[in-house]
Amino acid sequence: MSIDSTWLRCPNCFHDLEPVTDRVLGCELGHRFDLSKHHSATLLPPRAPRTIGDDRQMLEARARLLDSGAYSPIADAIIESMRSARSPFDTAGDGSTATASAAGAPRIVDLGCGTGYYARALASAVPGSAVLLADRSPDAVRAAMRAVPGSTGVVLDLWRPLPIRDASADVALNVFAPRNPAEFARIVRPGGLLVVVVPTATHFIELRRLGAALDVPDGKAELVTAQFTEVDFKAAETTRVEYPLVADTETRALLVDMGPTAHHRSGAEREAASDALSVTVSVDVVTFVRATPTA
């Protein structure tokens, strides 16, 4: 069994999941979950909504855009945030990243992993990390597992209690994905790190003026900070990453097709979104440290 069950708990009763056979996970109360042929686990709670997350077309567009390096400054900012924050990482004098985790390499969970682009960047920066890739979309989990060899993949619902064990993550990522503050606090160990990436009000502003992207309310970073400080995360740093993306018409089409607007655009909007223009990429990388209980 390639899946690392030490991450996982039963979505029905919250007892730990363990291997039953090489293709089945189970808990002590008898709940059983088959692994897919790709060795991922689907751990949805009872009566979970019938949503499927990002579809294959959106994921393919996102993969093509990310592989072009268009969002590499965001990935670089995530890595730098982890190096500079109080976290399971220490920055050595030579600029390399080492872990202070007692178990050795850190345990990283990407909550809303998409194609696995950001988890792959972080795992490359911290070799030997144990990585859990979590998303509502089975297609996303499969793609992310291909991007991060040796990772564990799970299909779950981020809005519900997570099938992830208490304090099992040293680091959690949440990039352009739904947020569940109380559950994130439960799964990140005291002293562990959470990095949340949210768009600013100027993100894709040129596309929004054409009706080809959804509006982004101002102050999302402040809202995120308020949400997570209420559940015992300490705000460590907020970094603004903003730059003009010089892109051809194909790349601008990918920017639209990789997001939720792809489901709602007319043909005229698709054509307008492909006109020659520079697009602003603007996000806030918000870093938190999980509070350590006082004696």
Question: pLDDT tens, 62-118?
Answer: 999 999 999 999 999 999 998 887 545 443 434 443 334 445 689 999 999 999 999
Contact between 74 and 121 under an 8 Å Cβ cutoff? The reply is no
pLDDT number for residue 1: 53
Q: What's the rounded mean pLDDT across residues 237-259?
A: 85
Domains of the chain: 49-290 (3.40.50.150)
Half-sphere exposure of 181 (CA within 13 A, CB side): 14
Number of H helices, E strands in the chain: 9, 13
Packing angle of the helix pair 117-125, 56-67 (nearest 10 deg): 40
The C-alpha atoms of residue 197 and residue 239 are separated, in whole angstroms, by 10
What's the pLDDT score for residue 248? Answer: 78
> Residue 214 contacts by C-beta under 8 Å, 6 or more apart in sequence?
208, 259, 260, 261
**Which of 201, 199, 209, 204 minimizes the C-alpha distance to 269?**
209
Q: In terms of Cα–Cα distance, which of 72, 103, 100, 102 is closest to 85?
A: 100
What is the overall mean pLDDT for the chain? Answer: 86
pLDDT of residue 153: 98
Helices 117-125 and 138-147: angle between axes, nearest 10 degrees? 30
Question: Does residue 291 carry a pLDDT above 50?
Answer: yes
295 or 83, greater pLDDT: 83
Top-confidence residue, 163 or 274: 163
d(CA 201, CA 71): 17
Q: Provide the whole-model pTM.
A: 0.88
Which of 2-16, 47-61, 115-129 is predicted least confidently? 47-61
Antiparallel, parallel or unpaired: β 188-199 and 279-290: antiparallel
Token duo for residue 17: 């999941």
**Per-residue model confidence (pLDDT) at position 294:** 66
Q: For position 99, what pLDDT does the model report?
A: 38
Cα 27 off chain centre by: 27
**Side-chain half-sphere of 272: how many Cα atoms within 13 Å?**
13
Q: Rounded to whole angstroms, how far apart are CA atoms 137 and 112?
A: 9
| pLDDT at site 17 | 98
Q: Reduce the DSSP state of residue 291 to 3 states and report it.
A: coil
- What pLDDT is stored for residue 71 in this prediction? 95
Q: Specify whether the CB–CB gap between 105 and 98 falls below 8 A.
A: no
3-state secondary structure (DSSP) of residue 183:
helix
End-to-end CA, the chain:
40
pLDDT at residue 75, rounded to an integer: 98
pLDDT band at 273 (very low <50, low <70, confident <90, very high): very low
CA proximity to 161, closest of 49, 16, 36, 10: 10
Q: Residue 272: pLDDT above 70?
A: no
Distance CA 104, CA 128 (A): 9
pLDDT at 274 over 50: no
Residue range 11-35: mean pLDDT, rounded = 96
Q: Quote the percentage of the chain above a pLDDT of 90.
A: 67
Q: What is the predicted pLDDT for the residue at 31? A: 97
pLDDT at 104: 67
Q: For residue 142, is pLDDT > 60?
A: yes
Phi-psi region of 288 (alpha: psi -120 to 50; beta: other; left: phi over 0): beta
Which DSSP helix (H) or strand (E) runs through 234? strand 233-245
pLDDT of 212-226, one tens digit each?
677 888 889 999 999
Please count the other Cβ atoms lying within 10 Å of the Cβ belonging to residue 165. Answer: 17
Return the pLDDT at 179. 96
